Amino acid sequence: MKLSNTQFITRGLIAFVITSGIIALILSLVGIQEVQLPPGRKYGMVFDAGSTHTSIFLYHWPADEQNGTGIVSQLHHCEVNGPGISGYAENPPKAGESLRPCLDNVSSYIPVESQKETIIYLGATAGMRLLKIQNETKSDMILEEVSKTIKSYPFKFQGARIISGMEEGAYGWTTINYLLNSFIKYSFDGKWTHPESANIHGALDLGGASTQITFTPKESIEDKTTDVRFKLYGYNYIIYTHSYLCYGQQHFKKKHIAMQLQGKNLTDLIEIPCYLKGFKSNMTLDSIFDSPCTSDQKPLPYDGTQIIALVGTGKPGECREAVKTLFNFTACGGSQTCAFDGVYQPPINGPFFAFSAFFYTFDFFNLTSGNPSLSTVNKTIKEFCSREWQEVKASYPKQKVKYLQNYCLSATQIYTLLVDAYNFDSRTWNNIIFQQKADNTEIGWTLGYMLNLTNIMPAEQVYLHKSQAMEAWAVLIVLFIVVVVMGVVILLVSLRSAMDNTVL
């Protein structure tokens, strides 16, 4: 039977639609490929329980890792009110309770579904090291109380412990070089790569109870007790690090005053050359000799409640000599690989970041920018230490007295440490960068610790799902549109044919 034109067109369109459907089916099968889903995020918190205060830092990173180490960034941080946890030696439960406001604050930044897998760790530094020397039972009780508080939150608690000075120095070095992209950087083609000529920086840290120096020397490290080995992003690093307990600002001040008391009548005014002329202060003997750094210098007979009167003389020359005596340079016997107190140190190498109290002290003197020369630094400190206390106090009305009174001593300590101990000179001085933040992140040991922890933690499993290639999707969409249009045309032709038949 001969087909009408309408029937012929209709059947042709149906054949085209069927053929297009078959092609679409084939493309949907052939074009399938496996696509990696975006990695989830992991979270981690670290408490930095320092000698004078405690901070909590919240970090996050993609769940997959680059050569075994996570790409970590700071999300939030919170300062705990009150002293460092070592300050609660007489009331350990209060140390734990002091952490709650910050724990509540930081918790709000972590998705509820991620909190059970969020790691949290507390590391105590030099203040607790000294307390452990002084009274191990009290230090253990404080760690027990802070652990009890942290465990009451829905996080994956990794422990609370006193970290060593070497760990503090090494993790601080890791933080700096990570933030400066010395280990890994994001390339133009959207990949994380290891810099071909990484500019590794040294780290200079000054806290309340200790100070640390860490760097990669040119020569091999002779004293193997001072080297630390890292593997980050698939590369190995060997660094020199040493921590000097009792040489942090707060305890160095106690050492200085204790030395000035030697052989003196404690009922007389005690002259302090590192205090500005005219400054006066009263202190109990316990506030000076309650530290393992000074306890062996107690005057006899000893009454810890006895009050002594101090007066500043503002003599920068005498201050400098007194500070140099506290570093005990004679113990090095003239060795070129010795800093002070007989401690081995290879020659300094490369640029350095000086942070914490190094930065805060020199920032007060406007010495952290503009690359001031070593002679300018020396002159600035001398001029300040020669000023009258009342004049300085009037010049800095917003500065708290507890900080202002110590700037002469602190600056002299820093100058002596960097120049006489670590051997920075006029040629290498400007290799030191005094800075507290890099890439909008606080510099300290906590980020370095988190990087090391992600090196230990297994990476999240990579999940794949089936997906169409972009080209296949484009063809399928075109075919879909064509099929829909043809379907409408077939419908219209069929309706037209039916209407014609009805009329006939």
Helices assigned H by DSSP within 312-373: 316-327, 357-364
**Confidence (pTM):** 0.81
Find all residues with CB under 8 Å of 218, minimum gap 6, and list them: 346, 347, 349
Would you call 69 helix, strand, or coil by DSSP?
strand
DSSP state of 460: P
- Give the separation between CA 304 and CA 296, rounded to whole angstroms: 14
Q: Is 212 annotated as a binding residue?
A: yes
- What does 72-86 look like in DSSP terms, one character per residue? -EEEEEEEESSS-GG
Identify the CATH assignment for 38-163 out of 3.40.50.720, 3.40.50.970, 3.20.20.10, 3.30.420.40.
3.30.420.40
Cβ–Cβ < 8 Å for 72, 451: yes
Q: Which of 65, 145, 167, 168 is catalytic?
A: 168
- Give the separation between CA 416 and CA 422, rounded to whole angstroms: 9
CA distances from 422 to 174, 346, 415 (A): 20, 9, 10
Phi-psi region of 360 (alpha: psi -120 to 50; beta: other; left: phi over 0): alpha
**What is the residue-level pLDDT of the chain in tens, covering all 504 positions?**
555 555 555 666 566 556 656 655 555 555 555 544 445 789 999 999 999 999 999 999 887 655 555 678 899 999 999 999 999 999 999 999 999 999 999 999 999 999 999 999 999 999 999 999 999 999 999 999 999 999 999 999 999 999 999 999 999 999 999 898 888 776 656 666 766 656 899 999 999 999 999 999 999 999 999 999 988 778 889 999 999 999 999 999 999 999 999 999 999 999 999 999 999 999 999 999 999 999 999 999 999 999 999 999 999 999 999 999 999 999 999 899 999 999 999 999 999 999 999 999 999 999 999 999 999 999 999 999 999 999 999 999 999 999 999 999 999 999 999 999 999 999 999 999 999 988 778 899 999 998 888 764 444 443 434 445 556 555 556 655 665 566 656 656 666 665 655 544
Q: Do the first three CATH levels of 38-163 and 249-339+348-434 match, i.e. the same topology?
A: yes
Look-up of token digits 């969020």: 118
Q: Is 471 a catalytic residue?
A: no
Q: Is 263 annotated as a binding residue?
A: no
Please give the distance of CA 120 from its chain centroid, rounded to a whole number.
15
Per-domain residue ranges for the chain? 5-33+469-503, 38-163, 249-339+348-434
Q: Is 210 annotated as a binding residue?
A: yes
What is the strand order of the sheet 156-162 is part of?
73-80, 54-62, 41-49, 119-124, 156-162
- Give the separation between CA 23 and CA 17, rounded to whole angstroms: 10
Q: Is 211 annotated as a binding residue?
A: yes
- Geometric angle at alpha carbon 182, from 179 and 183, rounded to 5°: 95
Element housing 464 (H / E) = strand 464-468
Determine the CATH number of domain 249-339+348-434: 3.30.420.150
Q: Is 51 annotated as a binding residue?
A: no
